[in-house]
């Protein structure tokens, strides 16, 4: 397809190219002003289109360049010079503007992405301790101040530590009430933290004072007051000349520090294979101060009795001391075990201990 012959002379055509470019470029640059990055990006797109139109293969400039070969030889040098000048002018104008726009765009991006390092940080949402942990820590603090070490030990145990060494031989009825979860090769999940009495004495020998909080497991069907996993806190004090009086004094001091100086204790005879004599400790109810009544109603935590059961205890059985290589002629001691869920449920008047293990934040958030 041949292009229509222009009636203008080649130089006039070249000048026309110059003028057309100047006009269009003028319209574009009129709108240029230090603006937002987005405006500069739009202008840059317009500039690219303009370059395509004004300098591309089908542009008037390209057509004029083709004329160079066709003008009379004596005019060619001068005409060629003119076209080159015009092309250089156009290219310079376009590239200067392009550089300016690109700089504007990148300055705007830097501004947009600037980080204010002086801005105060956002405080992360902070959780808090589980009610059982809070209670455990309170108890630990009390016993540490009475000279006790905190022991921690394994949850998977052998029969020997869970039963035999605690004076509960094979076939003893106490084993039945502490049925637990067994693995295939003679191990089981401990059913009581009393295992730590043995472990601690083996490790430390006598004299010693330790407490051991930890998880224990039993084959119980979950209900309001039972879960197959729960927490106990074991205590053991073995020294020369320890008597029942020391046990009573220690328990009394413990509940007074935990529930207040008015709290009293009572000791009821009971039976545990690893202590002799054995007893269960009660303390006067922290809600009704042992009266059994609260605002004329029967007090709930103590069910109107005025007393709340604290846990089991007793004087360490000589067989247990012997099993750990401690001479019962030289040393004597007392031991006790508390159930943490029960205490926690009473303290916070929870009607279902299963709440403690459901990890529902609506429940957990209430204990700060
Ligand atoms: N281990 C006992 C249980 O799980 C609790 C206990 C009773 C621990 C008397 C003791 C103790 O240390 O002296 O029922």
For residue 275, the model assigns a pLDDT of 98
CA distance 27 to 365: 66
Ligand 1 centroid, distance to 49 Cα (angstroms): 88
CA distance 281 to 155: 26
CA distance 55 to 89: 12
Order the strands of the 265-272 sheet from edge to edge.
Answer: 149-150, 208-217, 229-239, 332-339, 307-316, 275-284, 265-272
Beta-carbon neighbour count of residue 45 at 10 Å? 11
- From 161, 176, 193, 194, the mutation candidate for ligand 1 (largest count of ligand atoms within 8 A of CB) is 194
The torsion angles phi and psi of 286, rounded to 5 degrees, stand at -75, -15
For ligand 1, atom 4, name the residue with the nearest CA: 192
Torsion, Cα of 334, 340, 343, 348 (10° steps): 160
CA angle 358, 359, 361 (to 5 degrees): 130
For residue 284, the model assigns a pLDDT of 95
For residue 4, the model assigns a pLDDT of 58
Beta-carbon neighbour count of residue 316 at 10 Å? 25
For residue 33, the model assigns a pLDDT of 65
**Atom in ligand 1 nearest the alpha carbon of residue 337:** 8
| One-character DSSP codes across 298-359 | EPTTTTTSSEEEEEEEEEEPHHHHHHTT--TTT-EEEEEEEEHHHHHHHHTT-S-GGGGGS-
The H or E element containing residue 10 is: helix 10-30
Give residue for tokens 């504007």: 104
Ligand 1 centroid, distance to 247 Cα (angstroms): 14
- Cβ burial 121-137 (10 Å sphere, 16+ → b, else e): eeeeeeeeeebbebbbe
**Atom in ligand 1 nearest the alpha carbon of residue 194:** 1
Of the candidates 187, 173, 188, the residue with the CA atom closest to the CA atom of residue 218 = 188
CA distances from 56 to 44, 63, 88, 215, 331 (A): 17, 10, 14, 81, 105
As for ligand 1, residues whose beta carbon falls within 6 Å of it are: 192, 194, 234, 272, 275, 312-314, 335-337
For residue 1, the model assigns a pLDDT of 43
Ligand 1 centroid, distance to 336 Cα (angstroms): 6
The H or E element containing residue 268 is: strand 265-272
For residue 30, the model assigns a pLDDT of 83
Is there a contact between 21 and 90 (Cβ–Cβ < 8 Å)?
A: yes
For ligand 1, atom 12, name the residue with the nearest CA: 336
For residue 59, the model assigns a pLDDT of 92
Q: Give the SS3 label for residue 274.
A: coil
CA distance 242 to 184: 41
**CA end-to-end span of the chain:** 88
Output the CA torsion sign for 75, 81, 84, 88. Answer: negative
Q: Which residues of the chain have pLDDT under 70?
A: 1-5, 33-35
pTM exceeding 0.85:
no
pLDDT in tens, 46-96: 999 999 999 999 999 999 999 999 999 999 999 999 999 999 999 999 999
For residue 293, the model assigns a pLDDT of 95
Length of the chain: 368
Q: Give the SS3 label for residue 214.
A: strand
């Amino acid at each position: 397809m041949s292009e229509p012959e222009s009636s203008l002379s080649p130089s006039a055509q070249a000048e026309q190219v110059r003028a057309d470019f100047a006009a269009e470029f003028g319209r574009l640059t009129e709108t240029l002003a230090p603006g937002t990055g987005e405006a500069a990006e739009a202008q840059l797109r317009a500039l690219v289109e303009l370059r395509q139109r004004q300098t591309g293969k089908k542009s008037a400039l390209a057509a004029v360049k083709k004329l160079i070969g066709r003008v009379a030889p004596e005019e060619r040098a001068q005409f060629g010079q003119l076209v080159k000048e015009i092309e250089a002018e156009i290219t310079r104008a376009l590239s200067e503007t392009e550089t300016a726009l690109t700089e504007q765009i990148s300055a705007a991006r830097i501004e947009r992405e600037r980080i204010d390092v002086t801005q105060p940080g956002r405080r992360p949402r902070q959780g808090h301790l589980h009610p059982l942990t809070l209670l455990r820590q309170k108890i630990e603090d009390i016993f540490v101040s009475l000279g006790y070490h905190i022991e921690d030990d394994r949850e998977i145990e052998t029969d020997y530590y869970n039963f035999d060494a605690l004076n509960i031989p094979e076939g003893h009825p106490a084993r039945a009430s502490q049925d637990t979860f067994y693995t295939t090769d003679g191990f089981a999940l401990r059913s009581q933290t009393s295992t730590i009495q043995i472990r601690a004495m083996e490790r430390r020998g006598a004299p010693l004072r330790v407490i051991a909080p930890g998880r224990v497991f039993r084959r119980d069907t979950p209900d309001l007051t039972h879960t197959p996993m729960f927490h106990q806190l074991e205590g053991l004090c073995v020294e020369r000349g320890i008597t029942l009086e020391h046990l009573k004094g220690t328990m009394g001091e413990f509940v007074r520090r935990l529930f207040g100086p008015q709290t009293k204790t009572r000791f009821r005879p009971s039976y545990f294979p690893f202590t002799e004599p054995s007893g269960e400790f009660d303390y006067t109810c922290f809600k009704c101060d042992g009266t059994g009544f609260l605002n004329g109603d029967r007090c709930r935590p103590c069910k109107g009795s005025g007393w709340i059961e604290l846990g089991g205890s007793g004087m360490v059985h000589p067989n247990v001391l012997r099993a750990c290589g401690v001479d019962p002629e030289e040393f004597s001691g007392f031991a006790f075990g508390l159930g943490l869920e029960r205490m926690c449920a009473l303290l916070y008047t929870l009607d279902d201990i299963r709440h403690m293990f459901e990890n529902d934040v609506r429940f957990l958030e209430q204990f700060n």
